[in-house]
């Protein structure tokens, strides 16, 4: 199933017509949330040694790119997204030698490895910040964004943290505030300082020289801030709004996010990664297609994640608008996602149980047919619902530090692999989060059932892989009847029934059904297709018969 792959170390810069490495074309990515994937040292936390044997599962599934969430040394205030050292591996995750073994094994299996880089902020125990805080006159002070209080006292402006409260914390010793768009333990770097840019160019080369194939860039839309640090306009009053996430969206983030100068950073990074045939994938958390297009001008980031599908309703018009808007704005650079370690799982969002699984898989069929790179979040291939996490076992700072916030623990529970202690994730007496699922949803159980969600996803990836023109064919949306949503890519049609009743459609001509999300049965040379509720199909144009 592997394609467009040339093993390391014989790397050659091979660009597709779209300006991205040829190996990325027609690929499918997979997110490994390292803490919850596999525990190799029985401490209840996932690690590199635990990841290593499960790479075979990813190769069997048919993915091409493995994205590993942060594994760097960290005090874990935000579970690795508060980095204390960008050129190491946290002891709970293993060693650099363990990481090297993961990369080598992945490459042997034909998998590319993308690592998470966190450039917007560091940990407050990073050596740069400790020097910045301890010496206001030193060179590292300007590595971060420090400002005097507002004229009347208090924070320098009205910016808010994603995690609740002001985006500023006062340093009593110096009398100045430092900026943090996330936790106070995650101070924002000053990307207007050339020294910061130089530091990260060295960090990129460090990991590229170890064999990684690219970077998923955390908070890719927010590195540069408004030079004047102007107040953001308010979209709605905050009165009565207590949930941290909702408070954040009450503000028009005109000056703290999506500043155009950020693109210059990725243009310079592009010159570096092209020397290694590597890629830049942005966590571009913007929900407007025009804003996404601005983040992907063609000479910086190769791919930008499109997160709006995580917030859309299960309604035909909403699905078509959300998907078509991104393809029209960014014809080839979209990273398609319907789940991640930051959002409730799609099975839960789309009704839960079997209904949620059918809907999630049906949406996956559409995403697998669109131009760009679809990503699967670990457990999505199993059809996992949100995991069950008792209130006294919550760990996410969003939930722990904000009384009215649910947090993200339910989508981060450990991966269920099979029968036995902790469903094969760990032999520890207690895991960092409870397992959250039953054995019937484990990899081993679903692998043994030919009609399982897992095997349906694997078949979907196999069919997608066989459609060799997906990287080049334009997308043509159809005016389907009723609650059907569909489009053509070359000689293939992808269509989903969003409604609650059986729907039929005559697309014109004769078609072979090569994939059904609600069954493995396929049909040949038909002029009409019928779909049950939440079913998606892939049609291939029938070959002309003998004359």
* pLDDT one digit per residue (tens) for the chain, 547 residues: 333 334 443 444 454 555 678 899 889 999 999 999 999 999 999 999 999 999 999 999 999 999 999 999 999 999 999 999 999 999 999 999 999 999 999 999 999 999 999 999 999 999 999 999 999 999 999 999 999 999 999 999 999 999 888 999 999 999 999 999 999 999 999 999 999 999 999 999 999 999 999 999 999 999 999 999 999 999 998 887 877 777 888 899 999 999 999 999 999 999 999 999 999 999 999 999 999 999 999 899 999 999 999 999 999 999 999 999 999 999 889 999 999 999 999 999 999 999 999 999 999 999 999 999 999 999 999 999 999 999 999 999 988 888 777 899 999 999 999 999 999 999 999 999 999 999 999 999 999 999 999 999 999 999 999 998 787 889 999 999 999 999 999 999 999 999 999 999 999 999 999 999 997 777 888 899 999 999 999 999 998 765 4
CA–CA dist 146, 176 (Å, integer) = 6
Nearest to 100 by CA among 71, 132, 137: 71
Return phi, psi of residue 310, to 5°.
Answer: -75, -10
pLDDT of residue 106: 98
User: Candidates 3.40.50.1980, 2.60.40.1180, 3.30.56.10, 2.130.10.10; correct CATH number of 475-541?
Assistant: 2.60.40.1180
CB atoms within 10 A of CB 526: 15
Nearest to 306 by CA among 316, 320, 325, 314: 325
Nearest to 336 by CA among 295, 300, 383, 369: 369
Sheet holding 176-179, edge to edge: 146-147, 176-179, 168-171
Max CA separation in the chain (angstroms):
88
CA–CA dist 54, 44 (Å, integer) = 16
Rounded to two decimals, the pTM is 0.95
Return phi, psi of residue 170, to 5°.
Answer: -80, 130
DSSP 231: P
* Contact indicator for 80, 69 with CB cutoff of 8 Å: yes
**CATH number, domain 127-179:** 3.90.400.10
CA–CA dist 286, 334 (Å, integer) = 12
List 64, 78, 213, 218, catalytic entry: 218
pLDDT of residue 19: 67
Torsion angle of the four alpha carbons 313, 338, 367, 4, in this order, in degrees rounded to the nearest 10 = 170
List 256, 283, 446, 535, catalytic entry: 283
3-state secondary structure of 467: coil
pLDDT of residue 343: 94
Active site (annotated) includes residue 213: no
Helix axes 48-61, 453-466, angle to 10 degrees: 60
For the record, the structure tokens of 509 come out as: 């001509």
pLDDT of residue 523: 81
| Phi-psi map region of 142: left, alpha, beta (phi>0 left; psi -120 to 50 alpha) | alpha
* Contact indicator for 58, 67 with CB cutoff of 8 Å: no
Q: Give 381-441 as a 3 state SS string.
A: HHCCCCCCCCHHHCCCHHHHCCCCCCCCHHHCCCCCCCCCHHHHCCCCCCCCCCCCCCHHH
pLDDT of residue 249: 86
For the record, the structure tokens of 232 come out as: 């953001």
3-state secondary structure of 93: helix
Per the CATH hierarchy, to which homologous superfamily does domain 22-120+196-464 belong? Answer: Glycosidases (3.20.20.80)
Active site (annotated) includes residue 85: no
pLDDT of residue 6: 40
Q: Domains of the chain: which residue ranges?
A: 22-120+196-464, 127-179, 475-541
The count of residues in the chain is 547
CA–CA dist 54, 491 (Å, integer) = 35
For the record, the structure tokens of 131 come out as: 């020097």
């Amino acid at each position: 199933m592997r394609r467009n792959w040339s093993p390391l170390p014989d790397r050659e810069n091979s660009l597709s017509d779209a300006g991205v490495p040829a190996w990325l074309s027609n690929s499918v990515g997979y997110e490994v949330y390292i803490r919850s994937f596999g525990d190799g040292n029985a401490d209840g936390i996932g690690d590199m040694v635990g990841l290593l044997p499960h790479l075979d599962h990813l190769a069997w599934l048919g993915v091409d790119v493995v994205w590993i969430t942060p594994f760097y040394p960290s005090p874990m205030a935000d579970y690795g997204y508060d980095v204390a050292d960008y050129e190491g591996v946290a002891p709970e995750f293993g060693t650099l030698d363990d990481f090297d073994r993961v990369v080598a094994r992945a490459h042997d299996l034909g998998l590319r490895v993308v690592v998470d880089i966190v450039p917007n902020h560091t940990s407050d125990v990073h050596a740069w910040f400790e020097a910045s805080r301890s010496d206001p006159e030193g060179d590292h002070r300007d590595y971060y964004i420090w400002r005097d209080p507002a004229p009347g006292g208090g924070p320098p402006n009205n910016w808010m943290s994603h995690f609740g409260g002001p985006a500023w914390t006062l340093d009593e010793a110096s009398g100045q505030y430092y900026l943090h768009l996330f936790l106070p333990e995650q101070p924002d770097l000053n990307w207007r300082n050339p020294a910061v840019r130089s530091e990260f160019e060295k960090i990129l080369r460090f990991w590229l020289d170890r064999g990684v194939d690219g970077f998923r860039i955390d908070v890719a839309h927010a590195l540069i801030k408004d030079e004047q640090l102007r107040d953001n306009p308010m979209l709605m009053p905050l009165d009565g709004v207590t949930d941290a996430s909702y408070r954040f969206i009450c503000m028009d983030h005109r000056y703290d996010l999506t500043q155009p100068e950020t693109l210059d950073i990725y243009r310079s990074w592009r010159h570096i990664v092209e020397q290694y045939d590597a890629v830049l994938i942005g966590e571009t958390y913007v929900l407007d297609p025009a804003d996404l297009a601005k983040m992907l001008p063609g000479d910086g980031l190769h791919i930008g994640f499109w997160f709006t599908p995580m917030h859309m309703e299960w309604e035909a018009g909403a699905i078509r608008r959300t998907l078509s808007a991104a393809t029209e704005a960014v014809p080839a650079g979209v990273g398609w996602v319907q789940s991640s370690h930051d959002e409730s799982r799609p099975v839960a969002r789309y009704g839960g149980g079997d209904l949620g699984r059918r809907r999630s898989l049906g949406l996956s069929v559409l995403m697998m047919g669109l131009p760009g790179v679809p990503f699967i979040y670990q457990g999505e291939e199993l059809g996992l619902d949100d995991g069950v996490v008792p209130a006294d076992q919550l760990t996410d700072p969003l939930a722990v530090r904000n009384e009215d916030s649910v947090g993200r623990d339910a989508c981060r529970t450990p991966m269920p692999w099979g029968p036995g202690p902790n469903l094969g994730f760990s032999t520890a007496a207690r895991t960092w989060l409870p397992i959250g699922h039953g054995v019937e949803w484990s990899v081993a159980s679903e692998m043994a059932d030919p009609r399982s969600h897992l095997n349906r996803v694997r078949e979907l990836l196999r069919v997608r892989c066989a459609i060799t023109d997906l990287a080049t064919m334009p997308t043509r949306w159809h005016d389907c009847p009723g609650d059907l949503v569909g489009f053509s890519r070359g000689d293939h049609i992808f269509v989903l029934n969003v409604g609650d009743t059986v729907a039929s459609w005559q697309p014109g001509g004769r078609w072979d059904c090569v994939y059904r999300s609600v069954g493995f049965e396929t049909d040949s040379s038909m002029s009409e297709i019928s779909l049950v509720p939440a079913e998606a199909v892939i049609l291939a144009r029938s070959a002309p018969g003998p004359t």
